[in-house]
Amino acid sequence: MQMGEPRPRTERSKELAGIIGRFVREDGTHEMEIPGLSLIRTSQISERVHSVYEPSLCIVAQGSKVVMLGEESYRYNPSSYLTASVHLPITGQVLEASPEAPYLSLQLRFNMGQVLEVLRSSGETKRRKPSPGRGLVVSRMNDALLDAVLRLVRLLDAPQDIPVLAESIIREVIYRVVQDEQNAAIKQFALIGSHAQRISKVVERLNREFTQPLRVEELAEEVRMSASSLYQYFKEVTGMSPIQYQKQLRLQEARRLLITEGMEAAEAAFQVGYESPSHFSREYARKFGLPPGRDIRQLRKALGGWNPT
C-alpha cells in the first residue's frame, strides 16, 4: 500500500474489533462514556433474544447477526450495518461467534432531533417522498462511515477528549448515515409534518402506554391522520399493525417481569394490560414457543438455575 492510499476496509474492521475487544472483556452489552454508545460481546451463537431497538446505528466488527421484525429478517455483518429509525420490537440472534472469535459490535443511539439538526446544516429539509418506508434498514458499509465510527471509538482511549470531540464526531456519523441512499427514509422520520414523523409520534406513545387499551381513532386524531392512513403507514414503518405492535411490547415486558421479578403468569398478564390470563398464555406461547411457566423454567435452567426470587 502506497503512502496516502486508504487502508483496506478489512484492516479498519479489525481495528474496530480490536478496540471493542479491549474494552469489553465479558459477554454482554456495556455502556461507554461516549453518550449513546454501547459495545457488545458474545462468545457463542445465541438463542433468539427479544428486545426493543431504539433509534440507532448498529455495526458488527466481527461475526454476524440476524434481526427479525415481524415476518422479515435482516442479516448484517462487517460488510453492512443496520439502522433503526423508531422504537421497534425485534428478535435478534447472533449467528457467528466463538470464544476464540467472539461476536463484537457497537450500537450508537440517536434521536430525531440530532438527525434534524444534521439535515438543516446540510440544507436537506424537504420532504421528498410521502411514503415513510420501513423503520429498519440494512445497508452496505462504506469507507466514510467506517472511518467516522473508528474515530469515535478511538476516543475511548483518550477519555479527556470525549467532552470536546464526541459530539462533533457523532454528528458526522449521523451525516454519513443519512447521506446513504439506502437510508433515505430516515430523513422522513426527522422532518416535522411528514407521515413518518407522525407515525414516530404514535410509536412513542404506544411505547409509553402499551398497557392501556388501544384506540386507533384517538391516535389518528392526535397526529391529524385518518384511521385508515395511520394503519397503512404504521404497517409500512413497523411491518405490523398497531395492535400487533402493542402485543409485541406487552409480551416482551411480561417475559421480563416473569424472569426478573419472579411474578406469576396471571400477575404479569394483568400488569401489562391483559384482561384474561388464558388469552395471555395462548399469545405468549405463540410468541415464545412455550407457555409462560415452561418457558421461564427453561430460561432459568439455561442460566444455571438462577432464580430471582
Domains of the chain (ranges plus CATH)?
Answer: 9-187 (2.60.120.10), 251-302 (1.10.10.60)
Check pLDDT > 70 for residue 41. yes
Q: Which of 22-26, 60-64, 259-263 has the lowest mean pLDDT?
A: 259-263
- What confidence score (pLDDT) does residue 302 get? 67
Cα gap 268→19, rounded to integer Å: 40
Q: What 3-state class would DSSP assign to 142?
A: coil
Torsion of Cα atoms, 302 then 244 then 206 then 227, to 10°: 170
Is 195:188 a contact under the CB 8 Å cutoff? yes
The angle at the Cα of 45, spanning 39 to 47, to the nearest 5 degrees, equals 95
How far is residue 263's CA from residue 305's CA, in Å, rounded to a whole number?
17
Mean pLDDT across 19-34? 96
pLDDT > 50? residue 1: no
Q: What pLDDT does residue 130 have?
A: 58
Q: Which three cell numbers mark 277?
A: 390470563
- What residues contact residue 277 under an 8 Å CB cut-off, 6+ apart? 265, 266, 269, 270
- Render pLDDT for 64-77 as a digit per residue (tens, 0 to 9): 999 999 889 999 99
Number of Cβ within 10 Å of residue 271's Cβ equals: 15
Yes or no: say if 61 and 11 are a contact pair by the CB < 8 Å rule.
no
pLDDT at residue 2 greater than cutoff 50: no
pLDDT at 307 over 70: no
Cα–Cα distance list, 170 to 82, 86, 117, 197 (Å): 16, 18, 12, 22
Cα atoms in the Cβ-side hemisphere of radius 13 Å centred on 157: 12
pLDDT of residue 127: 53
Q: What is the dihedral of CA 239, 89, 180, 7, to 10 degrees?
A: -140
This prediction's pTM = 0.87
pLDDT band at 220 (very low <50, low <70, confident <90, very high): very high
pLDDT in tens, 160-196: 999 999 999 999 999 999 988 777 778 888 887 788 8
Q: CA separation (Å) from 277 to 94, 148, 179, 274?
A: 32, 49, 48, 7
